[in-house]
């Protein structure tokens, strides 16, 4: 995953990473919200869900202490970070601010 992850976040496209876990209630609430964000923004953002239990080294590298934690990248640079569930409109606004 690590090599793929670097290739993913190095892209010119905005990439929203959703660090989550199977056992996490708020993560389950965030999933349909992120789907709505994707539906609204289309190809201008790529949304990737990463299970912290299966990718502990990545979670550790980005100091993900709680889930869900969202990170927004473009060209390998972290532009934004937020822990917890946000509303669709808030996430859309953040992503659009970096377009």
Q: Could you give the residue numbers annotated as active site?
A: 24, 27
Quote the strand ranges of the chain, DSSP E: 14-20, 45-51, 69-74, 77-83
Phi, psi of 53 (to 5 degrees): -70, -30
Q: Which two tokens stand for residue 6?
A: 């670097």
Rg (CA), the chain: 12
């Amino acid at each position: 995953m690590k090599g793929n992850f670097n290739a993913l976040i190095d892209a010119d496209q905005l990439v929203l990473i959703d660090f989550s876990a199977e056992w996490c209630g708020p993560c389950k609430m965030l999933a349909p919200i992120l789907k709505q964000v994707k539906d609204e923004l289309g190809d201008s953002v790529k949304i990737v869900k990463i299970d912290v239990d299966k990718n502990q080294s990545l979670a550790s590298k980005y100091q993900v202490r709680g889930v869900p934690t969202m990170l927004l990248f473009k060209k390998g640079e972290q532009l934004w970070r937020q822990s917890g569930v946000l509303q669709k409109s808030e996430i859309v606004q953040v992503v659009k601010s970096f377009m």
